[in-house]
Amino acid sequence: MTTAATRLPAHNTTAEDALLRSIRIPPRPSLLVDLQRELAQPDPSPRAIARIIGNDVGMSGALLKLANSPFYGAARKAKSVEQAINFLGINQCAAMLTGILARDAVGANNPALNQFWEVSSCRAQALVFIARKLRLAPPDIAHTFGLFCDIGIPILMARFDDYGQTLDICNGAATRKFTEIEDARHTTNHAAIGCLLARNWGLSPDVSWAILHHHDYEVLGDDATDDAIRALVAGAVLAERAIQRYHGNSASLEWEKGGEAACRHLGMNEDESADLLDELHETFHIEH
């Protein structure tokens, strides 16, 4: 379904087009191309996927570590990539692998991004937890959205020397929309860039459009926007509140901006959202 909410913002000027060309969007990794080709088969083979992943020792180890995390609910410990695929399912393992590839493609060796990747990982884990609890999306879609939600941030950091100042302003803005501030300072924003990368990498359209709208809380009350997209955006608001709480912050500006709309869309009252956040907080402590 194509709606008014599922269109990238228009860039109508030559200057804006030139800006977009100057921003380096990492190309889709060849390993992801191979993986997606196998997933597109009528009956994808776990053994074939394990062979694709097994060609990279680091990738195999990272996938096993994620697969054995309590967040993914595996009843048994996987001792091989093929076991991980069989235990968790092809789609969930593919989502994990896609996230690992994203980190490799976008400054994995940059120590300045360590906190960014830590938060992205927490968000992905939180969204898997929330998606399972509320049945708002398949876990692999929730996981991928969580990891790629802010993928535009390191890309814009690499393009604009003053983007760190922009982040400080955005993170301290009590009412103004995050992406609105980015647009005013840089004529683009991390949500639009993240959506573009997700499309270029062949990710689910639901993931791409949820990335684009994850700061547009007005879409939560817009029936013209696909419910799958709105559910992911609402889940991201809950995940953000959980991450802020885990890091010892009593307040979350994004929760203040979108928490009420998110809970309303998900059909949750204040007590129900508080209980869910308590459960998620406990799970964070088990994992970390």
pLDDT tens digits, 100-109: 889 888 876 6
CB atoms within 10 A of CB 228: 18
Predicted confidence at residue 248, as pLDDT, reads: 79
Is residue 106 helix, strand or coil? coil
Q: If you search the block for the tokens 């991004």, which residue do you land on?
A: 113
CA angle, residues 205, 210, 213, in degrees to nearest 5: 130
Predicted confidence at residue 4, as pLDDT, reads: 33
Predicted confidence at residue 176, as pLDDT, reads: 95
Predicted confidence at residue 75, as pLDDT, reads: 64
Predicted confidence at residue 282, as pLDDT, reads: 83
Long-range own/partner contacts, residues 266-269 (CB < 8 A, 24 or more apart): 266/134, 266/136, 266/231, 266/234, 266/235, 266/238, 268/134
CB atoms within 10 A of CB 139: 21
- Burial letters for 230-268: b for 16+ Cβ neighbours within 10 Å, e otherwise? bbbbbbbbbbbbbbbbbeeeeebbbbebbbebbbebbeb
Low-confidence ranges of the chain (pLDDT < 50): 1-7
| Per-position DSSP letters for 24-87, written without gaps between them | -PPPPPHHHHHHHHHHTSSS--HHHHHHHHHT-HHHHHHHHHHHTSGGGT-SS---SHHHHHHH
- Structure token digits, residue 221: 């009350």
Is residue 171 helix, strand or coil? helix
User: What is the number of H-type helices and E-type strands within the chain?
Assistant: 16, 0
Predicted confidence at residue 3, as pLDDT, reads: 38
